[in-house]
Amino acid sequence: MDVFADPDNRQLLLTGFAWILKLTGASAVISLLVGVLLAAMRVSPVPVLRWFGAGWVNVFRNTPLTLVIYFCYFGLFSTLGLDLADDLDLNTYWLGVIGLSTYTAAFVCEAIRSGINTVPTGQAEAARAIGLTFLQTLWLVVLPQAGRAVVAPLGSVLIALTKNATIVGTIGLAEAANAMKTLINNNGDEVITIFLVFAGVFVALLVPTGYLFNWLSNRLAARR
Amino acid sequence: MSSVLYDHPGPRARVRNSALTVVFGVALAGLFWWLYREFDNAGQWAPALWKPFLDADTWNNFILPGLWGTLSAAATGMVLALAFGIIFAVARLSERRWIGIPAGAIIEFCRAVPLLLMIFFLFYGLPFLIDGPVSAYWAVVIGLTLYNGSVLAEAFRSGIRSLPAGQSEAAYAIGLNKAQVMRHILVPQAARAMLPVIISQLVVLLKDTALGYIIAYPELIQLGVNVLSANYVNVMAAAIVIAAIYIVINSTLTGLAHWLDRRLMRTGQPSVTGKVATEPAGD
């Protein structure tokens, strides 16, 4: 463990995971909001909105995240001049958040849409029968019930998002994967220790998250 | 059941829906117009940027070799990941705990570690251990195998566990041993029942070959976007064309998965996919 006796190397590890957590946090919030909105569009009575939702999902679910992130940096920033922060790292961070959120929103949308399908049709029919509009039916009756079924899939999306945050390293942010690469290149004799520490942090973060979401999902599951 | 969320539109709802269609249609058109203008202001519609894609050389020198790099890594990865998945699923189900527990630990580990971290370890770290270079191709393929193989192992395992107990009981009753029951009775049925899940995971694998770009493996993004745009200075155009290629390939495969799903349901296969999560999570 000599590598991590050096405070500089410890700092590299900490900043790496700090970026991962910040990327995950911001992207999780934004992609959840956008994803719910997209899911609402996909089940709405207005065809234009359904097409837009379906188009978003098809485009971003089938494009590799690496390309999306690449496009955010070289397209939005370098070519179109979208400058989000004066600080170089902060700018890269926000470009990464845009890429991750756009991509993840497509998966959130599909998870929520399949959750909506688990709500018995009688619920929506009853809601319509008492005169609720589409938005009221969705917001007051269907979505709250779909929420229970959606916990486990959204948990998987969150775990995938955390792992995907490493891809923002492509555009130069010193997140965990890049930090590991730097450490490996400087300490060729302790490769295994370095990998196990970095991988271990991910395992320690994500395996409990997985169990937590499974537990939550079982607790919230509706008996039908 | 999207259609039950709103009533069949009457005259007023039809008027309202058409009004909303117009409003949102205009808003969307505005959004696309704005995008078009942004591109235009940056000079991105200049014919010189798009013309290379009409040129056979562009395809022969960059895009097709890149596509080959992507597809060959994906194909090897798919074969190895399927093998890995079946072996580890069976190992994890083993009654011998000294096989089952390590297999489970490896699966959980590979699923929790980001693929990029694994690829970096294989590409930058492993050479120090084996005292020789690791090719980008094998770093990508082995990374893809370990990660997607672990996910497939879990899919196979839940497939095997969802089969009716009568299947293995009947097989034991006619005198098959454990290995034969697995190989001849359980794995084929589980594989068939989980086929849609397996195919969506293979789409994920194909998409993940893009990570090869980061370690300079000559795949579709590396050659088709990075190197190509270094020659023609058209990053945006190249990224859009390559994205379109990915979208066509992946949605074809996804379409195949959905078609199989419907077909399996129609032929009365035990619908396992209804019981386990089938929606990909985006990794």
Asked if B235 contacts A171 with a C-beta cutoff of 8 angstroms, the reply is: no
Q: Is the pLDDT of residue B195 over 90?
A: no
Distance from CA of B247 to the nearest CA of A (A): 5
Place of tokens 């699966």: B107
Of residues B148, B159, B161, the one with CA closest to residue B82: B148
What is the pLDDT at residue B1? 41
* B282 φ/ψ sector (left φ>0, alpha ψ -120 to 50, else beta): left
Structural domains in chain A, CATH included, are: 2-223 (1.10.3720.10)
Distances (CA, A) of B76 to A182, B205, B209: 29, 11, 11
Say if B255 is an interface residue toward chain A (CB within 8 Å).
Answer: no
Instruction: Convert the pLDDT of each residue in A118-159 to its tens digit.
Output: 889 899 999 989 989 889 999 999 999 998 889 999 999 999
In whole angstroms, give the CA distance from residue A12 to residue A193: 15
CB contact under 8 A, A79 and B42: yes
User: Domain residue spans in chain B?
Assistant: 62-267
Asked if A39 contacts A45 with a C-beta cutoff of 8 angstroms, the reply is: no
What is the pLDDT at residue B260? 83
Average pLDDT, integer, range A99-108: 96
In whole angstroms, give the CA distance from residue B46 to residue B52: 12
Tokens of residue A52, six digits? 């837009």
Of residues B274, B199, B279, B257, the one with CA closest to residue A112: B279
Which amino acid appears at position A180 of this protein?
M
Q: Which residues of A touch B242 (CB under 8 A)?
A: 67
Q: Is the pLDDT of residue B3 over 70?
A: no
What is the pLDDT at residue A133? 87
Q: Which residues of A touch B254 (CB under 8 A)?
A: 61-62
Q: Largest Cα–Cα distance in chain A?
A: 71
pLDDT band at A61 (very low <50, low <70, confident <90, very high): very high
Distance from CA of B137 to the nearest CA of A (A): 17
DSSP SS3 for A171: helix
User: Which runs of consecutive H residues, i.e. helices, occur in A165-190?
Assistant: 176-186
Chain B, 196-235: which have a CB under 8 Å from a chain A CB?
Answer: 203, 207-211, 213-214, 221, 225, 229, 235
Which amino acid appears at position A219 of this protein?
R
In whole angstroms, give the CA distance from residue B13 to residue B5: 14
Distance from CA of A87 to the nearest CA of B (A): 23
Asked if A23 contacts A96 with a C-beta cutoff of 8 angstroms, the reply is: yes
Q: Which residues of B touch A65 (CB under 8 A)?
A: 207, 210, 282
DSSP SS3 for B258: helix
Lowest mean pLDDT among A156-165, B3-12, B83-92: B3-12
Of residues B190, B202, B158, the one with CA closest to residue B264: B190
Say if B9 is an interface residue toward chain A (CB within 8 Å).
Answer: yes
Q: Phi and psi dihedrals of B87, rounded to 5? A: -60, -45
Residues with Cβ within 8 Å of residue B279, at least 6 apart in sequence: A107, A110, A111, A114, A153
Q: Which residue of B has its CA nearest to A60?
A: B247
What is the pLDDT at residue B276? 44
- Cβ-nearest to B242 among A67, A74, A111: A67
Residues with Cβ within 8 Å of residue A204, at least 6 apart in sequence: none
Q: Which residue of B has its CA nearest to A205?
A: B112
Q: Which residue of B has its CA nearest to A170?
A: B214
CB contact under 8 A, A180 and B7: no
- CATH top-level class of B62-267: mainly alpha
In whole angstroms, give the CA distance from residue B181 to residue B202: 27
What is the pLDDT at residue A84? 86
Tokens of residue B158, six digits? 């839940």
In whole angstroms, give the CA distance from residue A9 to residue B203: 37
CB contact under 8 A, B281 and A121: no
Say if B239 is an interface residue toward chain A (CB within 8 Å).
Answer: yes
Asked if A141 contacts A127 with a C-beta cutoff of 8 angstroms, the reply is: yes
Q: Phi and psi dihedrals of B268, rounded to 5? A: 75, 25
Place of tokens 């998870």: A111
- Cβ-nearest to B251 among A58, A80, A177: A58
Tokens of residue B242, six digits? 């390559």
Q: Which residues of A touch B281 (CB under 8 A)?
A: 107, 111, 153, 156-157, 159-160
What is the pLDDT at residue B281? 73
Residues with Cβ within 8 Å of residue A28, at least 6 apart in sequence: A104, A158, A161
Average pLDDT of the residues of chain B: 89
In whole angstroms, give the CA distance from residue B264 to residue A99: 36
**Predicted model pTM:** 0.91
Tokens of residue B167, six digits? 């299947």
Q: Which residues of B touch A46 (CB under 8 A)?
A: 17, 20-21, 24
Of residues A79, A83, A66, A80, the one with CA closest to residue A171: A66
ipTM: 0.92
Say if B274 is an interface residue toward chain A (CB within 8 Å).
Answer: no
